[in-house]
Amino acid sequence: MAFYKISAFSRLGQVSVKALRLYDQRGLLTPARVDPETSYRYYKVEQLHRLHRILALKAMGLSLEQIGQLLNDNLSPEQMQAMLKVKQAELKQQLVEGQRRLQTITAHLKHVKEEHTMPNYDVILKAVEPVSHVLSIRETIPAYTAVGTLLTELVDHLAQQQAQPQGPAASIWHDIEYKEQDVDAEAIIVVSNAVTGTDRIQIKTLPALEQVAAVIHRGPYSTLNQAYGAIIHWIEESGFQVTGPNREIYLQGGAEQDNVNYVTELQFPVAKVVA
């Protein structure tokens, strides 16, 4: 029976000597024989089959620990299947993330090519946590700017209870499309559990959003249309569709329409368009 020194076996298997030593340390591929005097490692050609199995599993993105478990003869087929399914799900998610990054880069390249500068707005995808205690008024208002009246009403209600907001104010726009008048608006303010509502001012939980496209607008409310144009364009170009009411979060805001120091976040719940 022929034995191969570790250097010769590494050439046969197209792997480094360092890798073979690591596989030995991890118990994945132990030499067929170790010379007791020189400590030289020797392998048999039949061990190439196990080496190829290790390399194939490694190419799938499995860790050496996971590979060791899959090479364990005591592992049931069901356990093997479960491990591979977990890795399959991880890789699918990585593909989704990679595709999203590719689309973002493509959009930026297009903008730089046409405008010779980076875009003014950067759209990101993220999840939004639920908020368990918010004051809310939902009402049909004559125009978008009239939401300030609803927000002022909420602030006055808080003042009556000698309470302070526990987070930024926000608006939720429930109409599917832009409207010139009769806008379905909801004004909200995050408050503590001690704050109570009325027949008109409701206490509610703001639901979580699994995935939103979000953008930050720095500047007055009067120029928010620029941010809206950027995020709607991104959603369409990136193969998403809007799945619910969008939110305006007033991270730094007030009653003035033209304050250049305001910071507003736009959030649109989105999902990938299925072809």
Q: Could you tell me the domains of the chain?
A: 4-70 (1.10.1660.10), 124-272 (3.20.80.10)
Judge whether 90 and 220 are in contact, CB under 8 Å: no
> Over the chain, what is the mean pLDDT?
91
Residues pairing with 43 in the sheet: 4
Quick check: 73 pLDDT over 80? Answer: no
Q: What tens digit of pLDDT does each residue of 171-200 get?
A: 999 998 889 899 999 999 999 998 999 999
- 74: confidence class by pLDDT, cuts 50, 70, 90: confident
Share of the chain above pLDDT 70, in %: 99
Name the amino acid, one letter, at 122: D
Confidence at residue 1, expressed as pLDDT on a 0 to 100 scale? 64
Confidence at residue 118, expressed as pLDDT on a 0 to 100 scale? 78
Measured CA to CA in angstroms, residue 50 lies from 33, 44, 198, 199, 225 at distances of: 16, 11, 71, 72, 61
The alpha carbon dihedral of 161, 163, 166, 172 has a sign of positive
Confidence at residue 263, expressed as pLDDT on a 0 to 100 scale? 97
Quick check: 30 pLDDT over 90? Answer: yes
Rounded to 10 deg, the angle between the 6-13 and 17-25 helix axes is: 100
Quick check: 2 pLDDT over 90? Answer: no
Min mean pLDDT across 30-39, 72-81, 82-91 is at 72-81
Q: What is the rounded distance in angstroms from the CA atom of residue 227 to the CA atom of residue 248?
A: 11
Taking alpha carbons only, the member of 172, 176, 137 closest to residue 157 is 137
Taking alpha carbons only, the member of 196, 195, 175, 187 closest to residue 150 is 187
Q: What tens digit of pLDDT does each residue of 119-131 get?
A: 788 999 999 999 9
Confidence at residue 80, expressed as pLDDT on a 0 to 100 scale? 85
Q: What tens digit of pLDDT does each residue of 248-258 get?
A: 999 999 888 88
Name the amino acid, one letter, at 219: G
Share of the chain above pLDDT 90, in %: 71
Q: What is the rounded distance in angstroms from the CA atom of residue 50 to the CA atom of residue 68?
A: 11
pTM for the complete prediction? Answer: 0.70
Judge whether 157 and 194 are in contact, CB under 8 Å: no
Confidence at residue 32, expressed as pLDDT on a 0 to 100 scale? 94
- 79: confidence class by pLDDT, cuts 50, 70, 90: confident
Q: What tens digit of pLDDT does each residue of 224-239 get?
A: 999 999 999 889 888 8
Confidence at residue 239, expressed as pLDDT on a 0 to 100 scale? 84
Confidence at residue 232, expressed as pLDDT on a 0 to 100 scale? 94
Q: What is the rounded distance in angstroms from the CA atom of residue 221 to the CA atom of residue 263?
A: 9
Tokens 């690591």 found at: 22
Measured CA to CA in angstroms, residue 25 lies from 64, 68, 172 at distances of: 11, 11, 58
- 275: confidence class by pLDDT, cuts 50, 70, 90: low
Judge whether 254 and 213 are in contact, CB under 8 Å: no
Dihedral, CA of residue 132, residue 134, residue 139 and residue 145, to nearest 10? -120
Q: Give the CA count within 13 Å in the CB-facing half-sphere of 71.
A: 23
- 174 torsion bin: left (phi>0), alpha (psi -120 to 50), beta (else): alpha
Taking alpha carbons only, the member of 203, 200, 128 closest to residue 163 is 203
